[in-house]
C-alpha cells in the first residue's frame, strides 16, 4: 500500500457497539487496565483517547489536503490560550456524545462524572487568551489552514480561593494527572539561544554571527482544534522548555552537589514553568522576555521548516505565510525573522525587510498606558544582543522615512522612535510592531478609532491604510451550544435546524417568534432552569452578574457602591416593594495588584454582612464563587439576567464577556465602551441600559481637574455608601477603598455613580414587567449573531490575511 495515496486508515467505529469496541481496545492496549479494575480516571482517559482518535483521523485527512494544496497559511502567535475544557467540546465536534454516553455507562460511569475530571488548561489570563481560543476554533470551522503557536506552561493561571480574607492563590498544576488531549512531538524540538555576543562577518556588513551564552531546547506538543460541521482539524502547538543534555553536571553530582548539578537545567526549564498572572500591566521581568523570545524563536523555526517542506524560494515566503501577533508579546518575532533571513539564510537586508513586513500583522488589545509593553534597552542588549542591533537598524531606517515625510519635525521623530529615551532607554514594542507589520488592528470600532486618534496617531498619519478594525467575537459552539444546551435546543426547534451554529446571523429569525406566548414562556422557563442549575440564589430573583478580571478600570467598585446603596435603601424602608436581586461577582486579581485584591476582599465581606442581615437578605444576596475560568463562565452565563459591562468609557478595548452574555439572553447595563457600543447598535437602544460618560467626556473630565469629592458632597446616597465602606465596619480594606475613591478615583467611579443608579432603576422597572423583560432577552440573543468569532475570522481572512479556505474532503 502506498501511504501517500490517501491516508490509508482502517475505519473507526460508527455504531454504539463499534464505539464500545474501540473504547475497550483503548482501555486494554493504551491505558493498560481492565474493565474490572477501571477507575473513573481510567474511564476518563480511555474515553478521551477514543474521542481523540476520531479527530486524529480527520487531522490526518486535513494534513493531506493541506499538503496537496500548498496553501497560504495563517500562523497565530499568542503567549496565551484559554482553551476551556476539551472533552465536551470534542464530543460535540466529533458527533460522538450519544455513543460515548452509552459506552461509558457500560463501564459503570456517567458522562457527567467523567466530564468533571476534564481539567481546563488555564494557559491564559482572560479575554486575550480566550480570544485566541475562539479564533483557532473559527479558523478550523472556516477551513482555513492555520496553526496556533503558544507556550505550554507547567503552571497555568493560579487557582483562586475566595474567603472573607479575600483572594488566596494556589498553583495550577493542570496536567498533574496527565493530559490526554496532547501529542508530544519531540522530533520537532528546536534550539533557542540567549545572552552571549555578536561577531562581524568579514565582507558582509549587514550580517553578524550571534554566539549565544545559553542554549535551551523547545519541545512541542500539539492539541487538536476541530472545526464544527466540517472535516478540518487544525492544531495548537505549544512549546515546553527543556534543558539540553549537556546542562546536567555529572561531575558535581558525583561530588555530592546534587542541587548544583541540576541548577542549570532547572534554570532552563523555568522558562515555561509558569504563566505570568498579570493581564494588563507589564512587569518587565527578564524571565518574561525570555518566555517571549522562546515562543517566537521556536515558532519561527517551525514555520520555516513547514514552509520548506513544499517551497524553496524565499520570495514566496510572504505569499505562503501570514503571522498574526496577538498583542505585542510576540513582537520580538520581527527582529528574529530579520536575523534568520539576514544572518542565517544570507538574504540582503532590504529583501529580508520586505519579506518581514509583508509576513506580519499586529493586533493591539489595549489603550491603557501601563499595558503598553516596553523593555529596557539594557535587558535586551544582555539577553538578545543581536536583536538589539537589528532593532537599531530598523529604527534608523524607519526614522529616516519619517524625516523624509515630515522634514524638520524633530518632536515627531522623538515620539515615533522605537527607542524611548527618557527617563531610561527602553524599546517600545508597540512601535516595533507597527513598523514591522503590514496591518495593525484594534478589536472593536471605538478601540480602533481611539488607537488612530491617540496612542498610535502619528503612525496613522504616516500610514493611514495600515490601520483597521476587526471587532472581536466568541465561539457560538462553546458559549451557547455547550454552555446552554437547553436554550440551544429551543433555538434549533424555533429556527427549524441547527445551521445557526455555523451561521450565527440566522438567530435574527428568532425575532419572528417573539409574538408567540408559548415560545416566550419556554424561554423564561429555560432561564429559570439554568438558574436552578447554577444554584447561586433564588431563581426568581434578578440575577445580576459581573464576571471578569478584577481591575479598577472595569469598575467592580461601582457595582459595589450600588450594592451598598441598595442595602441602605432596604434598611431605610424594610417594607418597600424591593426587586429581589442576586448579585454575582466572579474574577481573579493579579496577585501583586493590591487595589484589586482589596476590592475582592471588600466585596466578600460586604456580601457576608448582607447574608447575616435579616432585613436585607430576603431581597439582596451577593455571591462570589471562587476561581473564575472558562468552565465556570459556562455555568454562570446561561443563568444571567443582567450583564454588567460598566468600565470607564475609553478603557475596555472590546470585551468578549459582554458578547457571551448577550448571546445567552442577558440584558446589558453598560457604558459606551468597547464592543458595548456595537452590541447596543444591534440589539437596539430599548434593549440595553446605557449610562455614563462617553470616552471623550471622560478624557475631558480628567483634563478639567476632576474632583471626586465634589460628587461625594453633592450626593447624599453616594456619601452614605462611601462612608459605610470607610466607617471601620469593614476594616482597613474598607478604608483603603473609600480613600482611594475620594482621593483620586482614577476611573471616575463617582462621576458615573448617579447615572448608574438611575439606569439600575430602569432595569428594575423593566424587570417588573416580566413580559417586556423576556422580549428584551430574546432580542439580545436574536441580534448577537454578528459577535460570532466565525465572522471575526472571516473579517481577518478577507481584509488582513487574504487567505482562502481549503476544504477537506468528507469521508463517511
Ligand atoms: C470571556 C472571558 C473573559 C473576558 O471577559 P471580559 O468581560 O471581556 O473581560 C475572561 N475570562 C474568562 C474565563 C472568559 O471566559
Q: Cis (ω within 30 of 0) for the bond into 423?
A: yes
Q: What is the pLDDT of residue 99?
A: 95
Atom of ligand 1 nearest to the CA of 629: 13
Reply yes or no on whether the pLDDT at 279 is more than 90: no
Largest CA distance in the chain: 90
Task: Report which secondary-structure segment, H or E, holds 446.
Answer: helix 445-450
Q: What residues contact 457, with CB distance under 8 A and at least 6 apart? A: none
Q: What is the pLDDT of residue 260?
A: 86
Reply yes or no on whether the pLDDT at 2 is more than 60: no
273 is catalytic: no
554 is catalytic: yes
558 alpha carbon – ligand 1 mean position (Å): 19
Tens digits of per-residue pLDDT, 597-613? 999 999 999 999 999 99
Mean pLDDT of 363-388: 94
126 alpha carbon – ligand 1 mean position (Å): 5
Q: What is the pLDDT of residue 356?
A: 98
Q: How confident is the model at residue 3 (pLDDT cuts 50, 70, 90)?
A: low
Q: What is the pLDDT of residue 485?
A: 98
Reply yes or no on whether the pLDDT at 728 is more than 80: yes
Cell of residue 43, nine digits:
474511564
Does ligand 1 come within 6 angstroms of the Cβ of 637?
no
Mean pLDDT of 703-729: 97
For every residue of 161-172, DSSP letters joined together read EEETTEEEEE--
Q: What is the C-alpha to C-alpha distance for residues 227 and 230, in angstroms, rounded to an integer?
A: 6
- Exposure string of 399-422, with b = 16+ CB inside 10 Å and e = fewer, is beebeeebeeeeebbeebbbbbee
Helical residues (DSSP H) of 463-584, grouped into ranges: 476, 485-495, 517-534, 556-572
Mean pLDDT of 210-227: 97
Q: What residues contact 635, with CB distance under 8 A and at least 6 apart? A: 483, 533, 534
Reply yes or no on whether the pLDDT at 7 is more than 70: no
391 alpha carbon – ligand 1 mean position (Å): 34
Q: What is the pLDDT of residue 269?
A: 93
The answer to whether the beta carbons of residues 41 and 260 sit under 8 Å apart is no
* Helix and strand numbers, DSSP H then E, in the chain: 33, 25
Q: What is the pLDDT of residue 282?
A: 66
Reply yes or no on whether the pLDDT at 617 is more than 80: yes
Mean pLDDT of 275-290: 84
Task: Report which secondary-structure segment, H or E, holds 545.
Answer: strand 542-547
Q: What is the CATH number that goes with domain 70-84+120-470?
A: 3.40.50.2000
Mean pLDDT of all residues in the chain?
96
For every residue of 187-216, DSSP letters joined together read GG-EEEEES-EEEE-TT-TT-EEEE-SEEE
105 is catalytic: no
Does ligand 1 come within 6 angstroms of the Cβ of 361?
no
Could you tell me how many residues make up the chain? 812
Closest-CA residue, ligand 1 atom 7, reads 657
Q: How confident is the model at residue 249 (pLDDT cuts 50, 70, 90)?
A: confident
Mean pLDDT of 542-565: 98
The answer to whether the beta carbons of residues 141 and 227 sit under 8 Å apart is yes
Mean pLDDT of 52-79: 97
Phi, psi of 613 (to 5 degrees): -105, 115
565 is catalytic: no
The answer to whether the beta carbons of residues 671 and 697 sit under 8 Å apart is no
Query: What number of CA atoms fall less than 13 Å from residue 29's CA on the CB side?
Result: 8
The answer to whether the beta carbons of residues 234 and 62 sit under 8 Å apart is yes
628 alpha carbon – ligand 1 mean position (Å): 9
Q: What is the C-alpha to C-alpha distance for residues 195 and 581, in angstroms, rounded to an integer?
A: 57
Q: Where in the chain is the domain with CATH 3.40.50.2000?
A: 70-84+120-470, 529-768
Q: How many angstroms separate the Cα of 730 from the Cα of each of 133, 265, 735?
A: 40, 48, 8
Tens digits of per-residue pLDDT, 193-216? 999 999 999 999 999 999 999 999
Give the pairing type, strands 81-82 and 122-123: antiparallel
> Of all residues in the chain, what percent carry a pLDDT higher than 70?
99
Q: What is the C-alpha to C-alpha distance for residues 410 and 711, in angstroms, rounded to an integer?
A: 43
466 is catalytic: no
Q: What is the pLDDT of residue 5?
A: 52
Q: What is the pLDDT of residue 20?
A: 94
For every residue of 558-623, DSSP letters joined together read HHHHHHHHHHHHHHH-TTS-PPPEEEEEE----TT-HHHHHHHHHHHHHHHHHHT-TTTTTTEEEE
Phi, psi of 260 (to 5 degrees): -65, -35
Q: How many angstroms separate the Cα of 209 from the Cα of each of 142, 414, 608, 654, 676?
A: 42, 31, 63, 43, 50
Among 142, 660, 682, 791, which one carries the catalytic annotation? 660
Ligand 1 binding pocket mutation candidate from 633, 655, 668, 789 (most atoms within 8 A of CB): 633
Tens digits of per-residue pLDDT, 425-469? 999 999 999 999 999 999 999 999 999 999 999 999 999 999 999
Q: Tell me which residue has cell 542541587.
A: 259
Ligand 1 binding pocket mutation candidate from 125, 126, 482, 645 (most atoms within 8 A of CB): 126
Tens digits of per-residue pLDDT, 298-344? 999 999 999 999 999 999 999 999 999 999 999 999 999 999 999 99
Atom of ligand 1 nearest to the CA of 474: 1
Q: Classify domain 529-768 at the CATH superfamily level.
A: Glycogen Phosphorylase B; (3.40.50.2000)
Q: How many angstroms separate the Cα of 733 from the Cα of each of 587, 597, 737?
A: 18, 9, 6
Among 288, 301, 365, 783, which one carries the catalytic annotation? 365
Ligand 1 binding pocket mutation candidate from 124, 656, 671, 678 (most atoms within 8 A of CB): 656
Does ligand 1 come within 6 angstroms of the Cβ of 131?
no
Q: Which of 276, 712, 777, 341 is nearest to 522 (CA)?
A: 777
Q: What is the C-alpha to C-alpha distance for residues 766 and 641, in angstroms, rounded to an integer?
A: 12
Torsion of CA 198, 201, 205, 206, to 10 degrees: -60
Reply yes or no on whether the pLDDT at 422 is more than 70: yes
Amino acid at each position: 500500500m502506498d501511504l501517500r495515496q490517501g491516508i490509508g486508515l482502517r475505519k473507526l467505529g460508527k455504531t454504539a457497539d463499534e464505539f464500545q469496541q474501540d473504547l475497550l481496545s483503548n482501555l486494554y492496549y493504551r491505558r493498560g487496565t481492565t474493565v474490572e479494575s477501571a477507575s473513573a480516571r481510567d474511564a476518563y482517559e480511555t474515553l478521551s483517547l477514543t474521542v481523540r482518535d476520531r479527530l486524529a483521523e480527520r487531522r490526518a485527512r486535513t494534513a493531506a489536503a493541506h499538503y496537496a494544496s500548498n496553501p497560504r497559511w495563517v500562523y497565530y502567535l499568542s503567549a496565551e490560550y484559554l482553551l476551556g475544557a476539551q472533552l465536551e467540546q470534542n464530543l460535540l465536534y466529533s458527533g460522538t456524545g450519544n455513543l460515548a454516553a452509552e459506552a461509558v455507562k457500560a463501564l459503570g460511569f456517567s458522562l457527567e462524572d467523567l466530564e468533571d475530571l476534564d481539567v481546563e488548561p488555564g494557559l491564559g489570563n482572560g479575554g486575550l487568551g480566550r480570544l485566541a481560543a475562539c479564533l483557532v476554533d473559527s479558523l478550523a470551522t472556516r477551513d482555513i489552514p492555520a496553526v496556533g503557536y503558544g507556550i505550554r506552561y507547567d503552571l497555568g493561571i493560579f487557582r483562586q480561593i475566595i474567603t472573607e480574607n479575600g483572594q488566596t492563590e494556589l498553583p495550577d498544576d493542570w496536567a498533574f494527572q496527565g493530559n490526554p488531549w496532547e501529542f508530544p512531538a519531540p522530533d520537532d524540538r528546536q534550539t533557542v539561544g540567549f545572552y552571549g555576543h555578536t561577531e562581524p562577518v568579514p565582507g558582509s556588513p549587514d550580517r553578524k554571527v550571534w554566539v549565544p551564552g545559553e542554549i535551551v531546547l523547545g519541545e512541542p506538543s500539539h492539541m487538536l482544534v476541530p472545526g464544527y460541521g466540517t472535516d478540518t482539524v487544525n492544531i495548537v502547538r505549544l512549546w515546553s522548555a527543556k534543558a539540553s543534555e549537556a546542562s546536567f553536571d555529572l561531575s558535581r553530582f558525583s561530588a555530592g552537589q546534587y542541587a548544583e548539578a541540576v541548577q542549570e537545567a532547572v534554570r532552563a526549564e523555568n522558562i515555561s514553568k509558569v504563566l505570568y498572572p498579570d493581564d494588563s500591566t507589564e512587569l518587565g521581568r527578564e524571565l518574561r522576555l525570555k518566555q517571549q523570545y522562546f515562543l517566537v524563536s521556536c515558532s519561527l523555526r517551525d514555520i520555516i521548516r513547514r514552509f520548506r517542506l513544499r517551497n524553496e524560494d524565499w520570495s514566496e515566503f510572504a505569499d505562503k505565510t501570514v503571522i498574526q501577533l496577538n498583542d505585542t508579546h510576540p513582537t520580538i518575532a520581527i527582529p528574529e525573522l530579520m536575523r534568520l533571513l539576514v544572518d542565517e539564510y544570507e538574504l540582503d537586508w532590504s529583501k529580508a525587510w520586505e519579506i518581514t513586513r509583508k509576513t506580519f500583522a499586529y493586533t493591539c488589545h489595549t489603550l491603557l498606558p501601563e499595558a503598553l509593553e516596553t523593555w529596557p534597552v539594557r535587558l535586551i542588549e544582555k539577553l538578545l544582543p543581536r536583536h538589539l542591533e537589528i532593532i537599531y537598524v530598523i529604527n534608523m531606517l524607519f526614522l529616516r522615512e519619517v524625516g523624509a515625510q515630515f522634514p524638520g519635525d524633530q518632536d515627531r521623530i522623538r515620539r515615533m522612535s522605537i527607542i524611548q529615551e527618557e527617563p531610561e532607554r527602553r524599546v517600545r514594542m508597540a512601535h516595533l510592531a507597527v513598523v514591522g507589520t503590514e496591518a495593525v488592528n484594534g478589536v472593536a470600532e471605538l478601540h480602533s478609532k481611539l488607537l488612530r486618534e491617540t496612542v498610535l496617531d502619528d503612525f496613522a498619519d504616516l500610514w493611514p491604510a495600515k490601520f483597521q478594525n476587526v471587532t472581536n467575537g466568541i465561539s457560538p459552539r462553546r458559549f451557547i451550544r455547550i454552555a446552554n444546551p437547553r436554550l440551544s435546543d429551543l433555538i434549533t426547534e424555533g429556527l427549524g435546524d441547527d445551521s445557526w451554529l455555523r451561521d450565527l446571523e440566522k438567530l435574527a429569525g428568532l425575532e419572528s417568534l417573539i409574538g408567540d406566548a408559548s415560545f416566550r414562556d419556554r424561554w423564561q422557563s429555560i432561564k429559570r432552569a439554568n438558574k436552578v442549575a447554577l444554584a447561586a440564589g433564588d431563581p426568581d430573583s434578578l440575577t445580576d452578574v459581573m464576571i471578569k478580571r478584577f481591575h479598577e478600570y472595569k469598575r467592580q467598585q461601582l457595582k459595589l457602591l450600588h450594592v451598598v446603596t441598595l442595602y441602605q435603601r432596604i434598611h431605610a424602608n424594610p417594607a418597600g416593594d424591593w426587586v429581589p436581586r442576586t448579585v454575582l461577582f466572579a474574577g481573579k486579581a493579579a496577585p501583586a495588584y493590591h487595589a484589586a485584591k482589596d476590592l475582592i476582599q471588600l466585596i466578600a465581606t460586604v456580601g457576608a454582612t448582607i447574608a447575616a442581615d435579616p432585613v436585607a437578605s430576603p431581597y439582596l444576596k451577593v455571591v462570589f464563587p471562587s476561581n473564575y475560568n472558562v468552565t465556570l463562565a459556562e455555568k454562570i452565563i446561561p443563568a444571567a439576567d443582567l450583564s454588567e459591562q460598566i468600565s470607564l468609557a475609553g478603557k475596555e478595548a472590546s470585551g468578549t464577556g459582554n458578547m457571551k452574555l448577550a448571546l445567552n439572553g442577558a440584558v446589558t447595563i453598560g457604558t459606551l465602551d468597547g464592543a458595548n457600543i456595537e452590541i447596543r447598535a444591534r440589539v437596539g437602544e430599548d434593549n440595553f441600559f446605557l449610562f455614563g460618560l462617553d470616552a471623550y467626556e471622560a478624557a475631558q473630565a480628567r483634563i478639567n481637574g476632576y474632583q471626586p469629592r465634589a460628587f461625594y458632597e453633592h450626593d447624599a446616597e453616594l456619601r452614605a455608601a462611601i462612608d459605610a465602606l470607610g466607617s471601620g465596619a469593614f476594616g482597613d480594606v474598607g478604608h483603603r477603598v473609600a480613600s482611594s475613591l475620594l482621593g483620586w478615583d482614577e476611573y471616575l467611579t463617582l462621576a458615573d455613580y448617579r447615572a448608574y443608579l438611575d439606569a439600575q432603576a430602569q432595569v428594575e422597572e423593566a424587570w417588573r414587567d416580566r413580559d417586556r423583560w423576556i422580549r428584551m432577552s430574546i432580542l439580545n440573543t436574536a441580534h448577537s449573531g454578528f459577535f460570532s468569532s466565525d465572522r471575526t475570522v472571516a473579517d481577518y481572512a478577507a481584509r488582513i490575511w487574504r487567505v482562502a479556505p481549503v476544504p477537506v474532503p468528507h469521508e463517511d
